[in-house]
Structures are given as structure tokens and as C-alpha cells.
């Protein structure tokens, strides 16, 4: 294994994947926020805003999907720890007439962070918007899935630079 990989916590000394042992880490309040964007055609955005899809309310279904996905992150990402989540929240904001921002926040009182839970929630909420709207707009684009901030833990807080 090269020097660069020796800093990756999910690799053992031989380079094999491993789950990090967090047993000795302190239990602290952890939070993470993430975002994703869905860009769509004007008619699609209008239909989402006016709840005109036969499948149901696009944003409410996407909210439930994001929350559920955040809660099940350890089942989706192989080396993630199962966490006793205090909350997962999913919100929506139209930043442009055809560009929907999905903002998520995950909270836990635990030994490891909730960054992946916030990112998975944002990703699955965005995919759900796509799924709900694909019958009228297959050209939608999901983009800019990213961690915005995290708090708690031994490495301290992080905030994405503007």
C-alpha cells in the first residue's frame, strides 16, 4: 500500500477493506448537512410546484424517501456503522425556476459521524424526484451532491467553503 492510502481509515495495513472500530471514541452530538440539485424542464417544475403528478405529491414522497434512506444508510454503504439517529430532515427550495435544491440534515448522539446519512438522504430524495417525474422529463439532471457541514467528533467541525 502506498503512503497516500495509509491515511484511509477503511483500509487495514495490507490494503484490505475494513470497518473502522469506533468502540473507544467518545459519544458526542453529531450533525451533518448535505445538498443535491435536480434541474428539470420548465413544464416539469411547474407540475411539481402544482402537485400535478398522478403518482402523488413529488416533494412529499421524496422527503419520505430521503428520511427512510438516511435511516438505512448502513444497509446501503457497506462499511457504514448503524447509528441511533436522532433525526433526519429533508427540505426543498427552488433556487431557479427549473432548479430544485434538496437540503438534508442528519443528527445523532453517537461515536461516529452522520455525513453519509445526510448524503444518502439527499441522493435518494433527488433520485425519487427523478423517478416521480421521469414519465414527462427524462432529461432531468441530478448534480452537486455534496456535504455542506458537519459538527462533532475528534476531527472537529467542517464547513464547505463558499
Residues catalogued as catalytic: 131
Query: How many Cα atoms occupy the beta-carbon half-sphere of 45 within 13 Å?
Result: 18
**Strand, helix or coil at 36?**
strand
Contacts of 17-26 with C-beta under 8 Å, sequence gap 24+, read 17/78, 17/79, 18/79, 19/79, 19/81, 20/79, 20/81, 20/112, 22/81, 22/111, 22/112, 23/111, 25/111, 25/112, 25/153, 25/154, 26/111, 26/154
Amino acid at each position: 500500500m502506498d503512503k497516500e492510502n495509509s491515511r484511509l481509515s477503511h483500509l487495514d495495513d495490507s490494503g484490505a477493506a475494513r470497518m473502522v472500530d469506533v468502540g473507544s471514541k467518545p459519544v458526542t452530538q453529531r450533525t451533518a448537512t448535505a445538498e443535491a440539485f435536480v434541474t428539470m424542464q420548465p413544464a416539469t417544475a411547474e407540475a411539481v410546484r402544482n402537485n400535478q403528478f398522478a403518482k402523488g405529491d413529488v416533494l412529499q414522497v421524496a422527503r419520505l424517501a430521503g428520511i427512510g434512506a438516511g435511516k438505512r444508510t448502513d444497509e446501503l454503504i457497506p462499511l457504514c456503522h448503524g447509528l441511533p439517529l436522532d433525526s433526519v430532515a429533508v427540505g426543498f427550495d427552488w433556487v431557479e425556476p427549473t432548479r430544485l435544491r434538496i437540503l438534508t440534515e442528519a443528527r445523532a448522539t453517537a461515536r461516529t459521524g452522520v455525513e453519509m446519512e445526510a448524503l444518502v438522504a439527499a441522493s435518494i430524495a433527488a433520485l425519487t424526484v427523478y423517478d416521480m417525474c421521469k414519465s414527462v422529463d427524462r432529461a432531468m439532471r441530478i448534480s452537486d451532491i455534496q456535504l455542506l457541514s458537519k459538527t462533532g467528533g475528534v476531527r472537529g467541525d467542517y464547513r464547505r467553503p463558499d
